[in-house]
Amino acid sequence: MKQQIFLALFLSIIILPAAASAKKPRGKISNLAAFSKVRSYCVDASDLPSDEAYDLKRFISNESGPKKLLPKLPWLLASDCSEGAPGVIVRIEFQQFSPVNPSAQGEPPTIRAYLRVFQGSSSQALYEVESAPANDTMGAMSDAPLTDPLAVQRYDAVYAAFWFLIEDVHRVSQMIPK
C-alpha cells in the first residue's frame, strides 16, 4: 500500500510538470481529433476584394519555396480549392482598425488577419486564430499606429497567422497519442 502511494506521488511529481509545461494552442480548435488528422490544405481567396486577394496570393507564392514559412506546415498545399482536392480550406479575412489615439488623425489604419480552417463545405471553423503585423501589439490596439503600407501589414499579419497555425499543428501532434 505504501509503495503504491509512493509510486503515485512519484509519478505525479514527474508527470504534472510535464503536462503543465505543454503549451496550449494559440488558436481555437473546435474538433481536436479532426484537426490532428488534416494532411492537406488549400488557401481560398475567392471572397476577398481584389487587392487583398492579390496580397494573399503573393504571400502564398513567396512563402511556398524551400526554407520559407509554408513548408514548415506539415500539410500538403494544394494549388487550388477544387471540390475534393484538399483536406481543409484555409480562408483569411482582413479587418482594418483606425488609430485609437485622437491625435493620430491621418495615420494609416492597422490590419488584423483572421485565419480560419474549414473542413469541406462546413460553415463552422475547425480552427481559427487572429494575428496582427509583427510590429503591432497582439493585445489591445496600441496608441501608436503602424506606418507600414496596408499591403505590407497584410503580408505580415498573414505571416503571423500561419506561424500560429504551424505552432498549433505541432502542439496538437505532440498532444495526440500516435
**What's the CATH code of the domain at 76?**
3.30.160
Strands 88-97 and 40-44: parallel
Three cell numbers at 39? Answer: 494532411
pTM of the model: 0.77
Q: Determine the pLDDT at residue 23.
A: 78
Whether residue 11 lies inside any domain: the answer is no
Name the DSSP letter for residue 102: G
Q: Determine the pLDDT at residue 154.
A: 94
Whether the Cβ atoms of residue 69 and residue 62 lie closer than 8 Å to each other? no
173, HSE (Cβ side, Cα atoms, 13 Å): 12
Which pLDDT tens digit goes with each residue over 92-127? 999 988 766 655 566 667 899 999 999 977 788 999
Q: Determine the pLDDT at residue 141.
A: 41
Whether residue 15 lies inside any domain: the answer is no
Whether residue 14 lies inside any domain: the answer is no
For the ranges 3-7, 71-75, 107-111, the lowest mean pLDDT is seen at 3-7
Residue 29 has pLDDT above 60, yes or no: yes
Q: Determine the pLDDT at residue 7.
A: 40
Q: Determine the pLDDT at residue 100.
A: 65
Give me the percent of the chain exceeding a pLDDT of 90.
Answer: 54
Q: Give the range of the structural domain holding residue 142, as residue numbers without chain letter.
A: 27-175
Q: Computed over its alpha carbons, how large is the radius of gyration of the chain?
A: 20
Distance CA 7, CA 11 (A): 6
Whether the Cβ atoms of residue 63 and residue 80 lie closer than 8 Å to each other? no
Number of domains in the chain: 1
Whether residue 65 lies inside any domain: the answer is yes
Q: Determine the pLDDT at residue 10.
A: 43
